[in-house]
Structure formats: structure tokens, C-alpha cells
A and B are shown apart, each in its own frame.
Chain A
């Protein structure tokens, strides 16, 4: 990954995930209705219960491509590369592209497609991953479905949909559960996917400038954190001090090489020794993108804040490893 800065002329892409019946098609139609007049292409991998009213809906079979080395972090979605590559030739360019995945899709390869393929990277910018969750029925999947857990873990925005079918207590419990899995995402409640559209599009979630706009409380230790034995969790680290770049580099390289498949997403702001600027980064599996940001203010506390979202994360090992990089 070289850069995720928003560049002029890049067409934003929103990825919509969630199980069948969670309300993806409803949200899709709402986006299309509110953005009428814009040219929006929709790539659909399953046919939902409602039809989609749009001039350009393309059906595609999900095709996950592994590369020759067989690494999960290098898998991409061949169907998206082929279709989007073809659509990018058009003279009248699209204003936005929506990719709807099936409930059984792993979001990892979808996201990686936009960073691993040179043409995609040059012409498109991944705006965000929006995961719809059926507030009533998700409890049937959340414990044992890897797909369900991964869709939550990879999300920038999670829409708890159909909240009218669940009690307030159920919703609070679910929201707490989801937050323990992914502290980086914003959670919105909705009944018929009826939330303001600007909460799901225009996120620029992969733009390094937005890394700092992480959810408040992202790093706080959750009192319930060790209550469940969940396989997908978030680990937030917040430490004062400066980092030794070489040690940090070595630690991160080793971490991503050995644990890359388990680390779905990460982002953070770091304080590097001998550097006046803050260092911002984000990553998906083994793809890592970082750069110096604005200088630290004279009265600003130089602290390191980062979050890992993934499977089987060992908080003590992560924090210990990171702490050892401090000068």
C-alpha cells in the first residue's frame, strides 16, 4: 500500500456487508434515492429480497484469488478487479461505486483488492466498509460464524438495523459486544436502514487524515473486556513516550509477518523519537500505510495511541512488545 490519501479524480467505493436479511438492499436503495442525479454503479453478489432501482447494477460471482505464495493477506477479489477495471474506462465516469457482498463473504479480500491491484489503487479510493447487523437475529451468528465476526471486525460503520424488534436491554448488550470486537467503528441504530446517508458514505475511512478521528474512548480499557472468551477483539494501546523507529520497525514487521492473517485492521498515531511530527498509520492484514503528520504542538503530550482489531489477539503480548519499542 503506498498511499490512501484522497486524490482528485478518484472514484469513492463503499463496501456494504452483512448477512442476508440484514437490510443491505434497503440501505442501497436509500443511498441511490438520496443521491439521484449522481451516477452510481452497484456491484451485487446476491439478489436480495427487494429489487434495486438503478441503471447500472452488475451481478458478479464472488471470486477470491489467492496469489502464488498462498498468503491470506494477498487474496483479492478477481470479480471486482475485472468489473471495476472495465467500468473505469467509461467516458462518463461514475460518481460513486457501491459493492454489496454476500453474507458469506470475507471482507478482507474485498478491501485488499483496492490496495493490491495497481489499476484499482490508481483510480478508486475505498471510502469505507459498512456492515449491517440485524439487531434481533445477529445473536444467532455472532458466536460461531467467522463471516459474521469478520464483517463486524473489518467495519468502519456498523448499522444496527431493525432495532424495533429488539428490546433496549438487548440492544445495549449487543452494542457492548460489538464494541469489544471492533472499537474503531462507529455504531448507528436504525429501523429500516433509515439513518442519514452521510453516516455511511463520504467516510474516507482509509484516509490517513481521518485516522485521528477515532471513536472517543477507543483506547479505554473495557471493564467487560475479559468477561467473554471472544475470538475477535480489539486491543487498544495508549502509552506516553517516544518510540525507537528501528525497534518499532522490527517489531511491526515481525508481528505482521507472523500474525498478519489474524490482524484484520489497525490504526494509530505514534510519537517517534528524534521526529517533530506525529506519525499516523493504518493497515489491513499485512498491508501497512503510514506517514508523518503535523508537528506535535509545544504543549501537547507526546503519546502513542493505536488499536488492533483481530482474532486471537494477546493484549499482554501486544502491549509488552510495543512497550519494548519505547526509548
Chain B
């Protein structure tokens, strides 16, 4: 890849494994020792973060759709069979696909999106609370970083749920269909990517909102930098990065536009430490960027299948990617070149 800056990031393929089908979800155990991959055939494969394939966990007939590993090291998965598997135990099936699972930051509650409902389970799988039917199917979940509220995105906006039996505390009403949600690391901003090719922000403190339109496609890729300066967004072949360090936030600003992918970007994630942004796309490319400093990628690798999901290892030195044809690959990232 061409570069103009002095910095180089070395990215090398550490290992690659072939799974049976589209990789829908990837999650690291917080200690970085294990990686789980959920595929469209219903499998949940376990990998040793260093050496590669290790074994299989309980899966989901018809397809695994989501995975999350808790802060305490409990793996949760959901799928088209309508069940949640939590720490190796399958909870009873309910009607509808389990499209999202999300652990509260402390690992004590699991939010499960299934149809129009969000069910909250404790670590043992016991259902502590159910949201009741929301007006539309829940498409995405995000816990507030301080872990009190869980945001559920639907057609019609965002519902804030407590998950402790209390009724929904807040409704951020918005006309349109919310596809992906992300809280800024300090919890001040909530961003959502939408079906109508826009990104909407809520300033939770000032109760103000702002909308960014003009994306090429619907927006399902959102990533905040750990220092909360940047929100990287997909919705097309380019990564559009909004600068929140400016006074007044990104209102009226021109975003940084990162161009490298040929074909849609499918996922974005910032390195937990070190500030690199990783992007993957349908073109099979993994690109590494330093947002705001360089408009060209500092490094990357190209794989031979469209990529669908990515997850940084907790130490930020390895990047796991999954593909549309079932591949799972590990990329070693060395920012010192």
C-alpha cells in the first residue's frame, strides 16, 4: 500500500483458519487468551488467540448471529434457533431470532434482543427482566459505559432500558430505522447509524441532537476512538470520521474521509490502546489508519474473501477478522514498524 508519512505499521498474517460459512460475529475473552467466532451454519468456533483453532462451543441451529464475552469471561451467543447459550448452558427457546447479545460492562447482566423484546439475564441465565414488546423489532443494543442503562435501537428511535424491572426510562424519538448504536467512551454522546443513509448523534448532557446525512448506503459501522475524539463511520467505501475535539462538536465541520477500499466497508474498530483505526471491507482488505494525521493507510493486509467482522485483541497487538466465506484470520499489528 502506498504511504506518504514516515510512520509505518507492520501488519502480518499470523494464522488463518477455514470455517464452514459466513462469519457473523467475533469476540475476544477480555484476557485475550481466547477468540470465539459465530458462523451462519450455526457453529461457534473457539480459537487460541496465539495458535489458532482449538474447538467448538454449543451453537445455534440455522445460524449463529451474535456473540459477546463478559468482563468476567462468560461467553454468550444467540442465533436463529431463538436460544441464548450462556457459559455453556442453553436457555430455553423463545420465538424469533436472537439478533444481539450484549453484556453490561460489569458482566453481571446480559441484554438479549429477540424480536420486539429485550430480555435481561443474570450470569446464570435467569431472566431478571423483560422489556415487554417495543413498537418495532430491536435491531441493536449498546450499554452505557457506566453500565446503568441499555440503549435499544428500533424503528422510531432509541429506548433506554434499565434491565432491573423498572420501566423504560427514556425514549429518544427519531423518525427512521436505527441499525447500529454506539456510546462514546465517556457516555456523553450516543451515535446511531441508520437505514436512510445517515448518522444521528445525541448529546446526552445537553439533550441536543445532530444529524449527518449524505452517506452512500445505510450505515451499520460505528467506532469511537478510546479518547472520544473521533467517531469513525462506514456507510460506503470510505470511512468518514467526525471530529469531536472541536468546540461545538462536529456541527458544520468537514469530516476526515479515508479512502482505500474498493467496495463497501463492513466493519470499523479502534485499537484499544495506540489509536489506530482498523477498517475491513467487501474487497477483502484490512487497512490500518491514524485518523486526523494521515489520509492513507499506514499498513494492512489483503485477504481473498469479502470480510464481514473484526475484533481487536484487548492488548491491541492482534486483530482478528472473519469473512463471508468462512475464513477466520489473525493479523499481528506492530505500530513501531
Contact = CB atoms under 8 A, between A and B. Distances in A.
Q: Do A and B come from one complex?
A: yes
Interface of A: 61, 63, 65-68, 70, 74, 76, 78-79, 81-82, 86, 89-91, 117-119
B155 A63 contact: yes
Nearest to B195: A65
Interface SS of chain B:
loop
Interface residues on B, range: 20 to 34
B156 to A, nearest CB: 9
B137 A89 contact: no
B260 interface: no
A91 B139 contact: no
Nearest to B22: A89
A118 B136 CA distance: 22
A309 to B, nearest CB: 27
Contact of B24 (A81, A89, A117): A89
B40 interface: yes
Contacts of A63: 136-137, 155
A74 B326 CA distance: 35
Given A78-B177, A82-B137, A90-B21, A118 B196 contact: no
A68 B155 contact: no
Contact of B40 (A65, A76, A90, A118): A90
A91 B177 contact: no
Contacts, number: 62
Q: Among the interface residues B139, B174, B195, which one has the most CB atoms of the partner chain A within 10 A? A: B195
Contacts of A89: 21-22, 24, 40, 308, 324
Contact of A78 (B24, B175, B195): B195
Contacts of A78: 136-137, 155, 177, 195
Interface string B128-158: 0000000011010000000000000001000
Contact of B175 (A61, A70, A76, A117): A70
B318 interface: no
A122 to B, nearest CB: 9
B292 interface: no
A67 B174 CA distance: 10
25 contacts: A61-B115, A61-B137, A65-B177, A67-B175, A67-B176, A67-B195, A68-B176, A68-B196, A70-B175, A74-B196, A78-B137, A81-B195, A82-B137, A86-B63, A86-B65, A86-B97, A89-B21, A89-B24, A90-B63, A91-B20, A91-B41, A91-B325, A117-B195, A117-B218, A118-B217
Interface string B17-49: 000111010000000000000001100000000
Nearest to A83: B97
A127 to B, nearest CB: 24
A175 B248 CA distance: 64
A67 B137 CA distance: 16
B195 A91 contact: no
B335 to A, nearest CB: 33
Contacts of A61: 115-116, 137
B22 A90 contact: yes
A67 B22 CA distance: 30
A170 B91 CA distance: 57
B225 interface: no
Interface string B210-243: 0100001110000000000000000000000000
B70 interface: no
A176 B216 CA distance: 45
Contacts of B218: 117-119
Nearest to B324: A89
Nearest to A81: B195
B326 A79 contact: no
Given A65-B155, A68-B196, A78-B155, A91 B21 contact: yes
A303 B41 CA distance: 54
A317 to B, nearest CB: 32
A19 to B, nearest CB: 25
Q: Among the interface residues B24, B174, B177, which one has the most CB atoms of the partner chain A within 10 A? A: B177
Nearest to A65: B177
Contacts of A74: 196
Contacts of A90: 21-22, 40, 63
